[in-house]
Amino acid sequence: MGKNIILIGMMGSGKSTIGRLLAQKIENFDFVDTDEEIEKTAKMTIPEIFIDYGESSFRELESGTIKRFCAHENQVISTGGGCVESIENIEALKESGIVFYLKASVDTLFERVKHTDDRPMLYDEDPRKKLKMLLKRREPLYQSADFVIDTENKSQDDIVSELRDLYYAHR
């Protein structure tokens, strides 16, 4: 087998939730959430990293984490929403496996994240407007994925099945 399954997309697109479920459905696959790994390495939460050291320091940690896990196989890797803003990250992810963009509308994304306080990119007077701006900027980068999975009005099980089927057909 070998190839990793990489999930990209905006915050709230379901990368972590779907990734965990998908890893359980594929024999001998581990789940890796790059944001969780960054927090373990830094011994800080992502909001703390942003506040204490800034976004650029976070992005450096993110790139190192992506490179570290892309060196392994048989993983479902859930990435942070902004990782695609580095061409080096995109290249490392694409070399490591099959990249899936979990796509959702701004309205859906906002509904999923509006009550959380752990999204430093949304620390803004108008978080919905900021989310829309981020999606507009990142959408062309997300489109570099091997496959786009529209998550609107689909159950978690349906999304997991679609991902698994595409992976097996193209590995």
Asked if 101 contacts 15 with a C-beta cutoff of 8 angstroms, the reply is no
For residue 120, what pLDDT band results from cuts at 50, 70 and 90? low
User: Would you say how long the chain is, in residues?
Assistant: 171
Which 3-state string (H, E, C) describes 7-25? EECCCCCCHHHHHHHHHHH
And the tokens for 54?
């800034």
For residue 126, what pLDDT band results from cuts at 50, 70 and 90? confident
Residue-wise pLDDT for 34-61, tens only, equals 999 999 999 999 989 999 999 999 999 9
Query: Domains of the chain (ranges plus CATH)?
Result: 4-170 (3.40.50.300)
**C-alpha to C-alpha distance for 23 and 67, rounded to whole angstroms:** 20
